[in-house]
């Protein structure tokens, strides 16, 4: 075991503060990396404030962070994929059983024995739970380490590991390609990545937003059309025309308005997580054999594919880079959606402490 600098929350009501945690020394198949950037995901905030206590109660101290980009500092004797100096990334998962049907199909995110990057029982016993990326280093099995294309900005690459793969995976699964009409609901951390991917995959991309002020930005990000969702007349023009809609909204909203925009056999996929159950009208689904579905991040192979797609198409997240000392301020701003479109923590600020 060795000591690593980190920022942690001591309770649901305490701010994140500087601490020291224990990490395991790399075992045979482990990769140790120096963390250079870590994105701030809305899940970090939910977990820190114990807002998901019914599903995933938070164990304190909690070190969040699952959008990690760094440089390899040390590898175990059995590691074949990486060597010291490589630019790598770690996302939401750090382990799985590797043997269940999901793992065997490369869908580790649905493994019943999955270990998430933070707040999950630490099988290696370095701590009671896993500690995430708000830290200067981390040790991860090579199977869960990804390679970062050399042409991308590292600060903007970090959010690809959660916001990126969360929006890329459903688009690939439901066949978003050239010639398809794709909607993206909500233009935040997830939505802005959804627009970039739909556009890069060649789809006719339509952004739905509640605020007219986001129109120019949506167009800049790659939208062919922008619809103000409160305007019923504008919505009606698109009835029955979408192949696929990605719903990135985590607040309460009327999903029926979007189901009605799908063509026959069209799919709307939820990637946001509203607190209250959604009210779904059956007829919207019956007429047109439409589907309502959900999707969670993506498997390791697909995450690597996504990173390579980003390298080829020069896609990164739009980020505001902050020092870790501003993380509590960033959380308060995140609640108000006051960021375009993701915070990325420059971990040099932690090393300097």
Compute CA 80 distance to the chain's CA centroid, rounded to the nearest angstrom: 27
105 binds Zn ion (CB under 5 A): no
273 binds Zn ion (CB under 5 A): no
Q: Provide, rounded to whole angstroms, the least separation between the CB of residue 46 and Zn ion.
A: 10
Q: Provide, rounded to whole angstroms, the least separation between the CB of residue 91 and Zn ion.
A: 8
Which region among 24-32, 35-43, 201-209, 211-219 touches Zn ion (by CB under 5 A)?
Answer: 35-43
267 binds Zn ion (CB under 5 A): no
Backbone torsions φ then ψ of 210, nearest 5 degrees: -90, -15
For 16-69, give the DSSP string: PEEEEEEEPPP-TTEEEEEEEEEEE-HHHHHHHTTTTTTTSPPPSSB-----EE
Written as six digits, the tokens of 155 are 């600060």
Q: How far is residue 19's CA from residue 111's CA, in Å, rounded to a whole number? A: 32
41 binds Zn ion (CB under 5 A): yes
Instruction: Say if strands 93-95 and 115-116 run parallel, antiparallel, or are unpaired.
Output: antiparallel
For 81-110, give the DSSP string: S--TT-EEEE-SEEE--S-SHHHHTT-GGG
Q: Provide, rounded to whole angstroms, the least separation between the CB of residue 21 and Zn ion.
A: 20
Interface pick for Zn ion out of 89, 152, 162, 221 (rule CB under 5 A): 162
Q: How far is residue 118's CA from residue 94's CA, in Å, rounded to a whole number? A: 9
115 binds Zn ion (CB under 5 A): no
Interface pick for Zn ion out of 32, 58, 96, 269 (rule CB under 5 A): 96
Q: Provide, rounded to whole angstroms, the least separation between the CB of residue 299 and Zn ion.
A: 10
Interface pick for Zn ion out of 32, 43, 167, 303 (rule CB under 5 A): 43
329 binds Zn ion (CB under 5 A): no
Q: Which residues contact 263 (CB under 8 A, 6 or more apart)?
A: 181, 240, 241, 242, 243, 288
Q: Give the residue with the Cβ less far from Zn ion, 96 or 303.
A: 96
Q: Provide, rounded to whole angstroms, the least separation between the CB of residue 294 and Zn ion.
A: 15
Interface pick for Zn ion out of 12, 45, 59, 100 (rule CB under 5 A): 100
> How many chain residues bind Zn ion (CB under 5 A)?
8
Q: Give the residue with the Cβ less far from Zn ion, 35 or 41.
A: 41
The two counts, helices (H) then strands (E), for the chain are 12, 17
Taking the alpha carbons of 56, 5, 320, 205 in that order, is the dihedral positive or negative?
A: negative
Interface pick for Zn ion out of 6, 72, 90, 103 (rule CB under 5 A): 103
Bond into 341 cis (ω within 30): yes
252 binds Zn ion (CB under 5 A): no
Contact positions toward Zn ion, by CB under 5 A?
Answer: 41, 43, 96-97, 100, 103, 111, 162
């Amino acid at each position: 075991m060795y000591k690593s600098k980190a920022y942690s929350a001591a309770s649901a009501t305490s701010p994140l503060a500087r601490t020291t945690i224990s990490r395991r020394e790399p075992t045979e198949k482990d990769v140790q990396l120096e963390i250079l950037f870590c994105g701030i995901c809305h899940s970090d905030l939910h977990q820190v404030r114990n807002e998901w206590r019914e599903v995933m109660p938070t164990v304190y101290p909690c070190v969040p962070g699952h959008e990690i980009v760094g440089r390899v500092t040390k590898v175990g004797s059995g590691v074949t994929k990486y060597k010291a100096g490589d630019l790598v990334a770690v996302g939401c998962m750090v382990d799985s059983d590797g043997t269940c049907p999901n793992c065997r199909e490369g869908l580790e995110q649905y493994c019943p024995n999955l270990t998430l990057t933070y707040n999950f029982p630490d099988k290696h016993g370095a701590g009671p739970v896993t500690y995430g990326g708000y830290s200067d280093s981390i040790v991860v099995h090579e199977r869960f380490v990804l390679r970062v294309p050399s042409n991308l900005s590292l600060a903007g690459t970090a959010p690809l590991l959660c916001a990126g793969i969360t929006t890329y995976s459903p688009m690939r699964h439901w066949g978003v390609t050239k010639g398809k009409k794709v909607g993206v609901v909500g233009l935040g951390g997830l939505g802005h990545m959804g627009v970039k991917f739909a556009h890069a995959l060649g789809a006719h991309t339509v952004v739905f937003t509640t605020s007219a002020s986001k129109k120019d930005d949506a167009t800049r990000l790659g939208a062919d059309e922008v619809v103000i969702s409160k305007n019923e007349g504008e919505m009606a023009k698109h009835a029955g025309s979408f192949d696929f809609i990605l719903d990135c909204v985590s607040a309460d909203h009327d999903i029926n308005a979007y189901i009605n925009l799908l063509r026959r056999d069209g799919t709307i996929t939820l990637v946001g997580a509203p607190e209250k159950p959604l009210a779904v009208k059956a007829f919207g689904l019956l007429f047109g054999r439409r589907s309502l579905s959900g999707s969670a991040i993506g498997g390791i192979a697909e995450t690597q594919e996504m990173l390579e797609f980003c390298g080829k198409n020069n896609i990164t997240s739009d980020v505001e880079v902050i020092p870790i000392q501003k993380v509590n301020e960033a959380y308060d701003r995140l609640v108000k959606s006051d960021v375009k479109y993701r915070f990325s923590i420059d971990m040099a600020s932690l090393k300097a402490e």
